[in-house]
Amino acid sequence: MKHAAIVGIATGCLMLAGSAFAVHSGVEAAAIRLKTGVAEAAKPAIAIANDAEAPYCTPAFKQVLQRVLNACGLTGGESRRGCQPADVKNLASISDDDFNALFTPLRERGAVIMFDDASEKLDDAGKALIEDRWVDRRGARYFFVVARASKTGTPEYNRSLSHKRANSVLFDISDKFKEPDLDKKVGLLWLGNEFAQLGKDYCAWNVSRKDRQCAAEAINRSAFVSWVDCQL
Amino acid sequence: MSSRTSRWPAALALVASILGLAFAASSTFDYTRHLDRQVHDLHCSFIPGAEAAQGADTACRTAMYSPYAALFRDAYWGGIPISLFAVGAFSFFAAFSLYVLLAGRNAPRRAPQFLLLAGVTPLLASIAMFAISLLKLGSICKTCAGIYISSILLAIASIAAFVVDRREARTDAFLSAASPAAPPPASPPGEVAAVPPTVIDEPSVFAPRPAGSPLLILGWLVALGLFAVTPALLYISALPSYSGYLTGCGKLEKPIESTGALLQVGPRGGQPATLFVDPLCPTCKALHQRLVAEGVFEQLDATLVLFPLDSDCNWMLDRPMHKGACLVSKAILCSEHRALSVLEWAYEEQETLLQNASSGGGLANIQAAIRQRWPGLDACIESKQTQQRLDKMLRHAVDNKLPVSTPQIFLGDTKLCDEDSDIGLAYAIHKLAPQLRQR
């Protein structure tokens, strides 16, 4: 019995010591991995939530938009809003056709809101189309309004009219949706008639007056509106 | 009584103890590996020590992450795993069984009595854990089952040792009453088979088995307690400090969503919390279940932000991780005051919904399931306003520059680290929101 007791006690002590050592070692190893960051480093990187980035966001397109955003008051803390035709022409540093071509991929995403001659007043169809486009934001961060005026009239008059048309769209959105920070979402460009006039082929885009005759003069009495799915 | 006949319970107890020790050690080893706050594969197998397997460990992971896997979880990160106590206890039983096996008839009568008293305690603990596994967790992990089986074998061996000893005691009493010189008497009725005269070890000079002091039982109980507690004490002494890691996972930079697009659930005035969840994300479901099991969820004044990892509506992904999550999210948004009920339904039906979304009918299957359980939501689900609201929720994640992953939970504006959302959950909640009472 004596020998059995000794063997039992020795075995018990060995097992207890072994278990305790294994447990202690396991915890210490985990503590070392924790402190040295070895385990943390092995973790895969996770993407950070960001704005949408559509295939049409080419470097040239983003460069123009970024310049517009910086200069027209959408980024930073400036109180200034919108860009005048001269600004856009200088900022874009590209020809009229190239400027318009940048917006071609937005044909389906955007819409052309049409106005009466010498008027900045939105009709019901225009308001409905603005609402339709506005609520379809998805992952876009900026909503661009590119207002135009036809070549009829003086440049000063057209510049002013174009400005009013851009504001009409902004006010309509503001009244209807009452969203805060709207000025940080909506970028306004008013082009007058000096830069980037639209050709007749733009009549085939998603226009607000589908039932009316569309010509080059009419399509430039407009405001092109669209969310832009680019990380800017 | 033949020593070979009387020793089989001790041999069985030894085998059961070693088996139990192996399973308990395997479970403890898995637990300690997770103390680095990372997720590791588990040794979830009927063969203790078999290679860790990825994905085949759901039941073991459920058990390990449950509030029942450890003690003092709000005092120590991860708590003290109960398998650690089993390691110490089975070590003791292995040594004690070996002693009884070697000592044979020389072991005092107190030994089988103690074995009966203490040897069934692992079984009682196993019965309790089995009931919890079945009723609360809904699954039984293989390693746990290994411990249950070991406990049953140990209990059988303990009872058998006691029964055999009682028979021996009666025989001893009978032999003592007879003269040492006299021939062995005929066996009393009912004991012929158990104690045949031909198998008596020492018929000529009869030495009755010693009873032993009652203090022996007390001593062995103390030893058992020491064995059970020592590994736990060493475990605690080796634990690193986790408090510095808890608040290092970021803050909610813009907690307010100004258009009111987010959902409010839970009691007003409770602990403010913001939860970014995907209704078809299994990890979200698991975290939700853990928060409910801890009794924490019901105390949260929670802002719910749906963050479906489904490219159907989430522009941050180029392919769906959880197909159908956008549709289910819209159903939740359309339910407003019963939003939490719909979310919990989605968690319950998650596997079926995910399977259905990937099968032939695709999203139509999801739509049918929603229509059947929550009728009248179709028009709302398809409306642009609902899409817009979901966009705003996703934009809330963008505005806060959050990782594209779910779940994410913020207590106040402090993010609960992903690493603290499983075995460290109770500790992290206790530190980040001490006013929350946990079960």
pLDDT in tens, B288-325: 999 998 899 999 999 999 999 999 999 999 999 999 99
Would you call B106 and A1 a contact, using CB atoms and an 8 Å cutoff?
yes
- Give the integer Cα–Cα distance in Å for A118 and B171: 121
**A30 closest CB neighbour out of B32, B94, B391:** B32
Contact A115, A127 (CB under 8 A): no
Q: Which residues pair with A83 in a beta bridge?
A: A189
What pLDDT does residue B51 have? 63
For a pLDDT cut of 70, what percent of chain B falls above it? 89
- The closest alpha carbon to B120, from B48, B19, B13, belongs to B13
Task: Report ipTM for this prediction.
Answer: 0.81
What pLDDT does residue A86 have? 57
The ranges assigned to domains in chain A are: 2-41, 59-228
- Give the integer Cα–Cα distance in Å for B158 and B247: 50
Beta-strand ranges (E) seen in B235-342 are: 263-265, 271-277, 300-306
Q: Closest residue of A to B21, CA-based? A: A19
For a pLDDT cut of 90, what percent of chain B falls above it? 69
For testing contact with chain B, the best of A23, A24, A32, A183 (most B CBs within 10 A)? A23
Would you call B98 and A7 a contact, using CB atoms and an 8 Å cutoff?
yes
For a pLDDT cut of 70, what percent of chain A falls above it? 88
Residue B330 Cα distances to B44, B188, B255, B389, angstroms: 38, 81, 22, 9
What pLDDT does residue B195 have? 39
**Shortest distance, CA B135 to any CA of chain A (angstroms):** 30
Rg (CA), chain A: 31
Question: What phi and psi, each to the nearest 5 degrees, are found at residue B274?
Answer: -120, 125
Contact A187, A144 (CB under 8 A): yes
State yes or no: pLDDT of A79 exceeds 60: no
Mind giving me the DSSP string for B65-131?
Answer: HSTTSEESTTTSTT-EEHHHHHHHHHHHHHHHHHHHHHHGGGS-THHHHHHHHHHTHHHHHHHHHHH
B319 shares contact with chain A (CB less than 8 Å) = no
Report residue A74's pLDDT band, with 50, 70 and 90 as the boundaries.
low
Beta-strand ranges (E) seen in B203-347 are: 263-265, 271-277, 300-306
Q: Indicate the CATH number for domain B263-432.
A: 3.40.30.10
Question: What phi and psi, each to the nearest 5 degrees, are found at residue A187?
Answer: -105, 125
pLDDT in tens, B154-204: 999 999 999 998 888 888 778 777 755 445 444 444 444 333 444 444 445
B88 shares contact with chain A (CB less than 8 Å) = yes
For testing contact with chain A, the best of B17, B26, B38 (most A CBs within 10 A)? B38
Would you call A23 and B96 a contact, using CB atoms and an 8 Å cutoff?
no
B2 is written with which tokens?
């033949």
CB contact burial B167-176 (16+ within 10 A = b; e otherwise): bbeebbeebe
The ranges assigned to domains in chain B are: 3-237, 263-432
B228 shares contact with chain A (CB less than 8 Å) = no
Q: Indicate the CATH number for domain A59-228.
A: 3.30.1330.60
